Protein backbone atom coordinates (compact mmCIF):
# COMPACT_ATOMS: atom_id res chain seq x y z
CA UNK A 1 0.00 0.00 0.00
CA UNK A 2 0.99 3.63 -0.31
CA UNK A 3 1.34 4.08 3.44
CA UNK A 4 3.77 1.15 3.70
CA UNK A 5 6.03 2.56 0.98
CA UNK A 6 5.85 5.99 2.55
CA UNK A 7 7.06 4.57 5.88
CA UNK A 8 9.81 2.57 4.14
CA UNK A 9 10.96 5.70 2.32
CA UNK A 10 10.84 7.84 5.43
CA UNK A 11 12.42 5.46 7.96
CA UNK A 12 14.79 3.40 5.78
CA UNK A 13 15.67 5.25 2.57
CA UNK A 14 16.22 8.74 3.97
CA UNK A 15 18.43 7.64 6.90
CA UNK A 16 20.39 5.36 4.54
CA UNK A 17 21.09 8.24 2.17
CA UNK A 18 22.20 10.46 5.07
CA UNK A 19 24.50 7.78 6.52
CA UNK A 20 26.09 6.84 3.18
CA UNK A 21 26.53 10.53 2.28
CA UNK A 22 28.38 11.08 5.55
CA UNK A 23 30.63 8.05 4.97
CA UNK A 24 31.39 9.03 1.36
CA UNK A 25 32.16 12.63 2.32
CA UNK A 26 34.48 11.50 5.12
CA UNK A 27 36.36 9.14 2.77
CA UNK A 28 36.70 11.83 0.09
CA UNK A 29 37.98 14.40 2.58
CA UNK A 30 40.55 11.88 3.86
CA UNK A 31 41.64 11.28 0.26
CA UNK A 32 42.01 15.02 -0.40
CA UNK A 33 43.96 15.45 2.85
CA UNK A 34 46.34 12.68 1.75
CA UNK A 35 46.84 14.29 -1.68
CA UNK A 36 47.75 17.62 -0.07
CA UNK A 37 50.60 15.98 1.87
CA UNK A 38 51.76 13.52 -0.79
CA UNK A 39 50.89 14.89 -4.26
CA UNK A 40 51.35 12.65 -7.31
CA UNK A 41 54.55 13.10 -9.30
CA UNK A 42 54.50 13.96 -13.00
CA UNK A 43 55.74 11.15 -15.25
CA UNK A 44 56.60 12.25 -18.80
CA UNK A 45 55.14 9.43 -20.87
CA UNK A 46 55.69 9.99 -24.62
CA UNK A 47 51.97 9.87 -25.40
CA UNK A 48 50.99 12.58 -22.91
CA UNK A 49 50.61 16.30 -23.61
CA UNK A 50 50.93 16.01 -27.40
CA UNK A 51 49.66 19.33 -28.79
CA UNK A 52 49.50 20.32 -32.44
CA UNK A 53 47.96 23.65 -31.43
CA UNK A 54 46.91 25.37 -28.23
CA UNK A 55 43.62 24.43 -26.62
CA UNK A 56 40.86 27.02 -27.28
CA UNK A 57 40.27 27.85 -23.60
CA UNK A 58 42.19 28.98 -20.56
CA UNK A 59 45.94 29.16 -20.98
CA UNK A 60 45.85 26.82 -23.99
CA UNK A 61 47.65 24.01 -22.20
CA UNK A 62 45.23 22.76 -19.54
CA UNK A 63 41.82 21.20 -20.10
CA UNK A 64 38.73 22.53 -18.30
CA UNK A 65 38.92 19.44 -16.07
CA UNK A 66 42.53 19.98 -14.95
CA UNK A 67 42.89 19.95 -11.20
CA UNK A 68 46.31 20.94 -9.83
CA UNK A 69 45.72 18.77 -6.77
CA UNK A 70 45.45 15.49 -8.73
CA UNK A 71 46.88 16.36 -12.17
CA UNK A 72 50.58 17.16 -11.72
CA UNK A 73 52.17 19.72 -14.01
CA UNK A 74 55.67 19.18 -15.47
CA UNK A 75 56.66 22.77 -14.65
CA UNK A 76 56.19 22.21 -10.90
Q: For position 32, what pLDDT does the model report?
A: 92
Q: For position 76, what pLDDT does the model report?
A: 56
Under 8 Å between Cβ of 29 and 23: no
> Does the pLDDT value for residue 12 go beyond 60?
yes
> pTM for this structure?
0.61
Nearest Cα residue to 61 out of 47, 75, 45, 41? 75
Banded pLDDT at 3 (limits 50, 70, 90): very high
pLDDT in tens, 14-72: 999 999 999 999 999 999 999 989 988 999 899 988 889 999 988 888 889 988 888 88
Amino acid sequence: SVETWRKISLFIAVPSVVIFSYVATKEELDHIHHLEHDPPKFVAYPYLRIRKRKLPYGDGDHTPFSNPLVNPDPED
